[in-house]
Amino acid sequence: MENPYAPTHPEIRDAVRALCLKFDGAYWRKLDRDRGYPTEFVKALTDAGWLATLIPEEYGGAGLGISAAAAVLEEVQRAGCNGAACHAQMYTMGTVLRHGSTEQKQRYLPAVASGELRLQAFGVTEPTSGTDTLALRTTAVKKNNSTYVVNGQKVWTSRAEHSDLMLLLARTTPRDQVQKRTEGLSVFLVDMRKVLDKGLTIRPIRTMMNHNTTEVFFDNMEIPAESLIGEEGQGFRYILSGMNAERILISAECIGDARWFIEKATNYAKERKLFGRPIGQNQGVQFPIARAYAQTEAADLMVRKAATLYEAGLPCGAEANMAKMLGSEAAWAAADMCVQTHGGFGFAEEYDIERKFRETRLYMVAPISTNMILNFVSEHVLGLPRSY
If you compute the radius of gyration of the chain from its CA atoms, what whole number of angstroms results?
21
- The structure's pTM equals 0.95
Alpha helices for the chain (secondary structure H): 10-20, 25-34, 39-47, 66-78, 88-99, 102-114, 192-195, 235-271, 283-311, 317-342, 353-361, 370-376
What domains, with CATH codes, occur in the chain? 10-114 (1.10.540.10), 119-236 (2.40.110.10), 241-381 (1.20.140.10)
The pLDDT assigned to 5 comes to 80
Q: Is 124 helix (H, G, I), strand (E, B) or coil?
A: coil
Residue type, 64: L
pLDDT in tens, the chain (388 residues): 678 788 889 999 999 999 999 999 999 999 999 999 999 999 999 999 999 999 999 999 999 999 999 999 999 999 999 999 889 889 899 999 999 999 999 999 999 999 999 999 999 999 988 778 888 999 999 999 899 999 999 999 999 999 999 999 999 999 989 989 899 999 999 999 999 999 999 999 999 999 999 999 999 999 999 999 999 999 999 998 789 999 999 999 999 999 999 999 999 999 999 999 999 999 999 999 999 999 999 999 999 999 999 999 999 999 999 999 999 999 999 999 999 999 999 999 999 999 999 999 999 999 999 999 999 999 999 999 987 7
**Helix, strand, coil percentages, rounded to 5, for the chain:** 55, 15, 30
DSSP annotation of 384: P
pLDDT at 1: 61
Give the DSSP letter of residue 211: -
SS (H, E, C) 303-326: HHHHHHHHHCCCCCHHHHHHHHHH
| Predicted pLDDT of residue 86 | 87
The gap between the terminal CA atoms of the chain, to the nearest Å, is 49
DSSP one-letter code for 171: E
> Half-sphere exposure of 209 toward its Cβ, with a 13 Å CA cutoff?
20
CA 338, CA 289: separation in Å to the nearest integer?
A: 8
